[in-house]
Structure 1
Amino acid sequence: MELGEFVRSRSSEILFAALQHLSLVAQSLILATVIAVLLAALVHRSQTLRGVANAVSAIGLTIPSFALIGLMVAPFGFGVTPAVVVVVFFAALPILRNAIVGLAGVDPALIESARGLGMSRLGIFLRVELPLAWPVILSGVRISAQMVMGVAAVAAYVLGPGLGGFIFQGLSRLGGSGAIESVVTGTVGVILLALILDLLLLGIGRLTTSKGIRG
């Protein structure tokens, strides 16, 4: 079976899987960003806590995604839940590191000025620190997006949603009809989704970053 014929015959299934894959990654990125920024807000003022958070992030990234996904079967079973847990875990690590760097890099004089104007600690964080650190944080989000696109594909091992199903289906019957086409379809689909999501994040960055900071 030729690749073009394979794609045409299963176009609706491929599109549905692609939308599932993109949805899994996008929602996991949002959740990971919230978690990472909250953690960074708690630790970035302490050099010791920053070091601990960065060490945890570095160690976490060394864990094989396939192994972690397999371990999630025991507590969560098969399906969407273990896939979300693993994708969020890996997505949060680069974002956490960048969020700490971004928040720690905010000029202390600006914080003191805001405090002198009577702003609360929460107000300073939301209106001064977070906007100034946002470009660095968003850079971490883009790195995570590219990384977890592949992790989400591996999540098909525990019957997670997305294009990874095509890859595992093809690998399970190598030598059979349509096996290579299935693997190629899943792999190319993941790459295309990663490019699309990166473009979307670039657009979000331009919309959510003030012109003064971009300049």
Structure 2
Amino acid sequence: MWEYVSSRFDQIAFSSWQHFSLVVQCLILASVIGLGIGALVYRRKRWSAAANAVSAIGLTIPGFALIGLLIAPMGFGVLPAVVVVTFYAALPILRNAVVGLAGVDPALVESARGAGMSKMRTFFQVELPLAWPVVLSGIRVSAQMVMGIATVAAYVLGPGLGGYIFSGLSRQGGANALNSVLVGLIGVIILALILDLILLGIGRLTTSKGIRA
């Protein structure tokens, strides 16, 4: 195993960086989409219920099936990988955004509005900061989930560590087949832990001490 890794270290490091970059960029895009939709629907019960239903149903769609359907309109490469990872990442974020924003005490919102704050200012200075821990929890769940889903990108020749897993599985019993699978698997786990630590640090920096306590 060590010999396999050392002989391909540069290639493994580059694939790891591609995998990490794909997940982070898709996670940022998914956070904007999920939080944006959540901000639009959380005050309306029917819309928020629909958003939660979409989140629940979306997570039941197999990643292989979805990325397979995207081959015809998008072809192979980065684009279908980005679409699939962003889609799955947005679902928990949307759900937590709706729950977090809806859980803000209406009295606090009314107090802010009574003090002369606009709806936009109230949202960004009162509602979003109070809901942020719940939203960030959804982002962390998404990060861990799509770190594994991103390996499916190798099915459409996308970037990342999935290529090692697919390559090893296609050569079962062959030379270095197990090592190839283990490199992809262990690499994904390590990247997931690193990203979670980063998000944990971001949470401590962006959440007020009063809310953290």
| TM-score where L is the length of structure 1 | 0.98
Q: Match for residue 86 of structure 1?
A: 84
SS in 2 for 1:162: coil
SS in 2 for 1:63: coil
Task: Please give the per-residue CA displacement for 1:47-94, whole angstroms capped at 9, x wherever unaligned.
Answer: 111111100110000000111011111111101100000000000000
Q: Match for residue 119 of structure 1?
A: 117
Q: Match for residue 213 of structure 1?
A: 211
Q: Does 1:194 find its partner at 2:195?
A: no
Identity of aligned residues (%): 70
Further displaced range: 8-17 or 114-123: 114-123
Q: CA deviation at 1:19?
A: 0.5
- In 1: Cα distance, 2:25 partner to 2:207 partner: 21
- In 1: Cα distance, 2:196 partner to 2:209 partner: 20
Q: CA deviation at 1:171?
A: 1.2
- In 2: Cα distance, 1:194 partner to 1:13 partner: 19
- In 2: Cα distance, 1:164 partner to 1:34 partner: 26
- In 1: Cα distance, 2:64 partner to 2:189 partner: 19
Q: Match for residue 14 of structure 2?
A: 16
Q: Match for residue 56 of structure 1?
A: 54
Q: CA deviation at 1:179?
A: 1.0
- In 2: Cα distance, 1:22 partner to 1:185 partner: 15
Within-5 A mapping of 1:1-215: 3-215=1-213
Task: Please give the per-residue CA displacement for 1:135-181, whole angstroms capped at 9, x wherever unaligned.
Answer: 00000001001100111011110011000011111112222211110
- In 2: Cα distance, 1:74 partner to 1:118 partner: 53
Question: Hey, which bits of structure 1, 4+ residues long, moved more than 2 A?
Answer: none
- In 1: Cα distance, 2:111 partner to 2:136 partner: 25
SS in 1 for 2:76: coil
Q: CA deviation at 1:30?
A: 0.5
- In 1: Cα distance, 2:172 partner to 2:8 partner: 19
Q: Aligned letter for 2:117?
A: M
Q: Aligned letter for 2:101?
A: L
- In 2: Cα distance, 1:66 partner to 1:136 partner: 29
- In 2: Cα distance, 1:207 partner to 1:162 partner: 29
